[in-house]
Amino acid sequence: MEVDEAQNRLRRIARALSGGKAMQEVDRVFLITALNAIADGKNADAILEVKGQKGKRKGAAASQRQGIKRFAMAWIAAAKAPIENGGLGLTLEQATGLIGENGAKNFGLTEESLKTYWNNSPDMHGVVIADPKKDRKD
C-alpha cells in the first residue's frame, strides 16, 4: 500500500472514531490487527504502513533536542536584543561564542550549529519565558 493510501486510511479511521461513526469492516479488522501487533512490540511505522517525513525525527530524544534548540535560540534572541530593551546587545558571533563549544557549552551545540539554527529558524527568534505554574508539581 502506498504511503498516501495508508495515511488516508488512518485519517478515515480517526474521523470515524472521533465522530462516533461506524467504521468499515476492513478498517476495523486492520485497526484491531495493527494495535495487537504494536502491543506485541512490533514496529508501529511498519504495521501502520507509514513512514516519518524525510528529515524529521521522532521520539523523546528528538523532542528533547528540539527543546534544547528552542532554548538556545531564545537565549541568542535575548543576548542580541539591545541593552535598552533588557538584552546584552551582542552580535550573533558573540552570542554563539559565549554558549558554543569554545564558551560555556550551555546547550551542547557547536557555534556553527547555533549559527545555522539561528539563520534557518527565524520562527525561533523569540524569547521563551517559562511558566512557573505549569512546571510546578504540587
pLDDT, tens digit (0-9, with 9 covering 90-100), for 22-60 = 888 888 888 888 888 888 888 887 888 776 555 555 556
In whole angstroms, what separates CA 10 from the centre of its chain? 21
CB distance 125 to 78 below 8 Å: no
pLDDT, tens digit (0-9, with 9 covering 90-100), for 89-103 = 999 999 999 988 877
| Per-residue confidence band for 10, with pLDDT thresholds at 50, 70 and 90 | confident
* This model's pTM is above 0.85: no
Distance between CA atoms of residues 13 and 50, nearest Å: 14
pLDDT, tens digit (0-9, with 9 covering 90-100), for 50-91 = 765 555 555 566 667 777 888 888 889 989 988 988 889 999
CB distance 27 to 12 below 8 Å: yes
| Per-residue confidence band for 112, with pLDDT thresholds at 50, 70 and 90 | very high
37: alpha, beta or left, given left = phi > 0 and alpha = psi -120 to 50? alpha
Smallest CA-to-CA distance from 72 within 40, 103, 48 is with: 103
| Per-residue confidence band for 115, with pLDDT thresholds at 50, 70 and 90 | very high
Q: What is the pLDDT of residue 61?
A: 64
CB distance 27 to 6 below 8 Å: no
Cell (9 digits) for 2: 502506498
Which residues in 18-57 are b (16+ Cβ under 10 Å) and which e? eeeeeeeeebeebbeebeeeeeeeeeeeebbbbeeeeeee
